[in-house]
Each structure stands twice: as structure tokens, then as C-alpha cells.
Amino acid sequence: MAFDTDSTAALAALIDYANAAGADASEASLAARESISAEVRMGELEGMEREEGRSVALRAFIGKRQAAASSTDLSTKGLKALAERVVAMAKAAPEDKFAGLLDQRYLARGPAPELEQSDTARPTPEQLLELAKRCEAASLAIPGIANSGGGGASFENAIFVHATSTGFEGAESATSYSLGTQPVAEKGDEMERDYEWRTKRFFADLPSAEEIGRIAGERTTRRLGARKVASQKAPVIFENRLAGRIISPFFSAISGASVARGVSFLKDKLGQRIFAEGFRIHEDPFVKRGAGSRWFDGEGGAVAPATLIDDGVLTMWLLNSSAARQLGLEPNGHATAGHGGPPGIGTANLFVKPGAEDLPGLMKSASKGLLVTDMFSPSLNMNTGDWSVGVAGYWFENGEIVHPVSEVTVAGSLLDIFARLRCGSDVDNRGALEIPSLIVDDLAVGGV
């Protein structure tokens, strides 16, 4: 599957049909995807799937009225019918004074940079099956692993093309390769689960199946013997592979749409210090082979590196054109593609500045506390920032692991937690957010 001139021609025709039907402005997109996945359990094939799909979408404007829809019919008749349907919907839609295409002065210009998002490797179903089997087998070989929740390997190739009636045309293609397994450890009546999973843009960048399986198995067996701890306030360390979950509400809270609606616990914090001194979150959409790389946003807007948190201070909102109009600001390249609906708001590659201490160092400096390695069922009040989450992990004393912990919660105000977060040096780079382990002193731990 490759981007070709037919894709551009289809979008140009769709925009022409919308204009002919009475649209004042419009934007069109084409999304194509092919994927193969293989799943195994206890060495046997559980399922094999292959998917291919292609669709077009149109958003049309009549003054300040807008409507959007998508279709899998790329024939001339189908494109014309889609355009006429969307324009008719727009004529009947209520007015939205903030609706409209992104102003031309904010559009991405020039040739697309080489971001190395698309690999040429095309693993066969048989190769993916073999990888999944090897990965699961490596986890089952770890002493204490008695069962498996399964293993899997997958490949995906995706293409996105965007065009507007104001003259923007842009295309992006990306591949992704995933491999992982979920072993089960058993001891008497006790059973614990854990996992290890990796996704990369380039096939050769994946760790070996044996390494992923070994890590999954070792993580799972370490969870055997878990118990509760007494309710108390104690230092809590969030392991790097899930530390992003504690700051993910931050990105939702600085979305311009949330701020404009007044449903953000950070709505009045722009320009203020909300994280500890020295804390830094940087965004870069131009990282080669990055999971969140892009050269234009979901409205065709120009993107650029930005520092969202600088020395603990909140520097900007994340804006698409609609949110920017509502707040009286300029859009800043954070639109996500609606493809059948209005654009959303999102980020590119994110980097939390690491600190000086590795994970053992954080534990030693804290003396005793809770190391969180799993989180589930989070609860968040977006208006106040009050937050709680179920966790599992390990209790440590004198900087050393004492025993696994389960069935406990941690809770607090995110405004208070953010202000006291400190970063370790052990950066996890498995996704679009590169982040080290995070520690917060004196956090409420709910146990027995």
C-alpha cells in the first residue's frame, strides 16, 4: 500500500464536489491502513487477522455552520454523494461562531522533512506467528511462570492524506511493529499477571522476542507473595513505564478546548509554576522514528518544537483553530485529524527531563515507601484535580525491596502532587512520551 496521485485526485474531486454543492470552504482527508496480527497462547495459535481499509472524509462549511462525514466509497459517484450529503447537513446545522478552516498563514509550508516513519520490512503472517511463539516461550521458561494470557505480534502500515479548499496538501505514511506477552505466575492458590510489550516504527528496532519474553516473565514472578500495607502517608515512586499515567491528566488539562469550557483544574494557571523547580516537559514533532512525529497537524497546520513546562512553569495551551478562536489566541499546531468529524487536540513526541538519580537511588534517598509498577481504575475530577488510583507494586525499606504489594490505592490533589514531583534518571522510551520514574514524598496510601 503506497501513497499515490490517485489519493490527491480523490480529495481534490471531493473538495470540488463540495464547492459545487454550495460549500463556502471544505477540507478532505484519506486514511488507508493495512495490518496483520498473530496471537498465541501456550504455544498454540489463538488467532490470525489481516485487515485492509481505505476511507475518505469531508468537513464542509456554510458560513459558520459545519458538518462532517466519511465514506469507504471512493468512486466518482460515491465522492459526489458524500459531498452533497455533507453540504446538506451543514446547511441544517446550528451556527458555531468558532467554526472554520485554519487560517492560511498557519498552514505547514515547504517540502516534508524526512522523519523516518515508514519502514520497508513486511513480515509475513508466518514470521509474526513465530515471533509471538518465541516471545511467549521465553516468558514460560522463567521459573514460577505456570500459564500465559497469551502473546502477540503485529504489523501495521498507515497512510494519511489531507487537503483543504485553501490549497493545502499533505501526506504522511507510518509503519509500526509490536511484540509482547502476558505471562501468569502461580504459587499455591496465588496467581499474578504482568506483561512486557514493545512497539517500534522500524522492525529492526524491536528488542528480541526472547528479551521481551524474559522481562515479562521475571516481572510477573516478582509479584508473587503480594500483600497489603497499612494506610499511611509515604513516599511513592511511579516506575518509568507507567509514570506517564500520573501526568497524562496534565495534557488533558492544558487542552484549549477544556480550558475554554472551564473544565480544567489548570484553567487559571498559565504562566504559573505548577511543577517543581527544574521540571521540564518538551515537545518535538520532528524526531526521526518517533512514535508521535509529524510535519503537519490535523488541520494542515505548521508544527514546531515547544517547551510546555519550563522550570516548572506552564508556558502554553494546546490549541487547534476552534479553541484558539474561543480563547482569543493563535493556533499552535496541536490539532488532531477528525477524519469524519471536527479536529481534536493532541501532542507529538514528549520528553520529561530526567533527574540525577536512578531508580535504586530514588529508593535509597526515600528510605522507605511504595514503588508503583501497575495502576488501574483511576478516578479524576477534572475541575479540581482530585485524583485516586488503584495500584500494585513493592514496598521498600532502607532503599531495598521488602515485599510485593497489591490492593492498595494512592490519592491526592494533582496540583499538590505535580508541585512535589521529582524525576529519576531512568528514562523509558517505548512510546511517544519519554519519561523517567517519578517520586512524590508524603502521598496518601490507602491499605488496611
pLDDT of residue 7: 82
Residue 222 — very low, low, confident or very high, per pLDDT cuts 50/70/90?
Answer: very high
Q: What is the CATH number of the domain that holds 23?
A: 3.30.2290.10
Express each pLDDT in 278-287 by its tens digit. 999 999 999 9
Let me know whether 255 and 313 are in one domain.
yes
Let me know whether 178 and 240 are in one domain.
no
pLDDT of 5 over the 70 cut: no
pLDDT of 154 over the 50 cut: yes
Let me know whether 136 and 230 are in one domain.
no
Give backbone dihedrals phi and psi of 145, rounded to 5 degrees, phi first: -85, 120
Gap between the Cα atoms of 374 and 219, Å rounded? 11
Let me know whether 80 and 165 are in one domain.
yes
Residue 4 — very low, low, confident or very high, per pLDDT cuts 50/70/90?
Answer: low
Let me know whether 174 and 274 are in one domain.
no
Domain total in the chain? 2
Let me know whether 330 and 211 are in one domain.
no
Let me know whether 177 and 252 are in one domain.
no
Average pLDDT over residues 89-116: 95
Contact 131, 197 (CB under 8 A): no
Last residue of a domain, one of 220, 235, 263: 220
Let me know whether 259 and 158 are in one domain.
no
- Domain that includes residue 66, residue range: 5-220
Express each pLDDT in 231-253 by its tens digit. 999 999 999 999 999 999 999 99
Let me know whether 288 and 434 are in one domain.
yes
Express each pLDDT in 174-197 by its tens digit. 999 999 999 999 988 899 999 999
Let me know whether 210 and 319 are in one domain.
no
Let me know whether 212 and 348 are in one domain.
no
Q: Which of 429, 446, 447, 399 has its CA nearest to residue 200?
A: 429
Q: What is the dihedral of CA 296, 300, 306, 308, to 10 degrees?
A: -120
Express each pLDDT in 59-95 by its tens digit. 999 999 999 999 999 999 999 999 999 999 999 999 9
